[in-house]
Amino acid sequence: MRIRVSEHPTLVDVREHTARLWRLIVRDVDAPESPLANENWDAVSTPLHFAASISGITADTSYVDDTGSVLYCRPAADYDDAQSKLISVYVEEVTKFVWVWMALEMTIDCLCAPSRRDRIGPAVKFVEEKGARIRFFGLREVEQETYAKAPKVVLNEFKRAVSKRIKGRGQEMLKEIFFFYLCRAARNYLVHGNADMPVTDDWDQNTTDWYERHDSVVWVRSLARLVLFGLQSLLYAAFYESDHTTSTDMKSEGVPERVLVHEALQVIHLSESDYDFNQRQRRFFESDSV
């Protein structure tokens, strides 16, 4: 089947992206007729459910301020209010990232028989051995944004991991899945205590939702998106040669209906108005499903 995608497709937000993957796993990947129905998919769907359930977290940075400055200094109070808004959004995005990372690790456990010391290596090997060339619309843009905003220490760890992986292998390794190593490097940075608390530098500017556009927030959000693409890559490889299709009651919930699972995974993160599995006369460019 040929997938027709608009020239500049729009990605749904990370929360909806997460929810759509949850629906696909619960209703199709773990369906009785699925070739993977016997795996422990509850361990994958549960953290995705948690991540998609988060609609806001409130942080109050003045709670640990014993100086009382916010009571006597208006600029200090304004700064602390701005910092609380930033930290609230940042903690929300980090929390979502932690849950989707857990879902990725559980997917690796289901499909790749990882060792206790390494999950990413077996995941990369699994996709390579399946011979599935990853073709997700919008992936490259997310990957580039994550690279661009990543702290230097994350990029250095990523480069070391990739260099070690491809050493002596020539061009055999799929470049499309290098981002698995970027995600792991970023996970280590966030979870192992290396990350600095983000600080606002424009708290006195009267702009709306500036904290949503803060570099630290945008980076973690794009990172969570990249982890979701990693999960999709594994499912895509697992179903690449399968004729198992999606169910017929999901169109209104963002998952294409009655198409091969690996085809649905190519576009599940896009706005429904930006792709088509039929041959309607619209201004689309075409791409063969792979």
Residues in the chain, pLDDT under 70: 1-2, 66-74, 131-132, 167-175, 202-208, 249-252, 278-290
Residue 214 lies in a domain: yes
Residue 88 lies in a domain: yes
Q: What pLDDT is stored for residue 134 in this prediction?
A: 72
Residue 271 lies in domain: 9-275
Q: What pLDDT is stored for residue 127 in this prediction?
A: 87
Residue 283 lies in a domain: no
DSSP type of residue 198: P
Q: Are 147 and 182 in contact (CB under 8 A)?
A: yes
Q: What pLDDT is stored for residue 67 in this prediction?
A: 65
Give CA angle at 213 (209, 215), nearest 5°: 145
Q: Are 106 and 114 in contact (CB under 8 A)?
A: no
Distance between the two ends of the chain, CA-based, in angstroms?
Answer: 10
Q: What pLDDT is stored for residue 185 in this prediction?
A: 92
Q: Which residues contact 51 (CB under 8 A, 6 or more apart)?
A: 15, 18, 95, 96, 99, 100, 103, 224
Residue 114 lies in a domain: yes
Q: What pLDDT is stored for residue 63 in this prediction?
A: 80
Say which amino acid occupies 83.
Q
Residue 1 lies in a domain: no
User: Which ranges of the chain would DSSP assign to H, the alpha helix?
Assistant: 14-24, 42-53, 69-72, 74-112, 120-130, 139-149, 152-166, 179-191, 215-238, 261-267
Residue 248 lies in a domain: yes
Q: What pLDDT is stored for residue 206 in this prediction?
A: 55
DSSP-derived secondary structure for 152-171 = HHHHHHHHHHHHHHHTT-TT
Work out whether the CA dihedral 117, 120, 126, 128 comes out positive or negative.
negative
Instruction: Please state the domain count of the chain.
Output: 1
Work out whether the CA dihedral 55, 65, 191, 141 comes out positive or negative.
positive
Residue 36 lies in a domain: yes
Residue 3 lies in a domain: no
| pLDDT digits 0-9 by tens, 121-152 | 888 888 888 866 777 888 888 888 888 888 89
Q: What pLDDT is stored for residue 224 in this prediction?
A: 95
Say which amino acid occupies 135.
R
Element containing residue 4 per DSSP (H, E):
strand 2-5
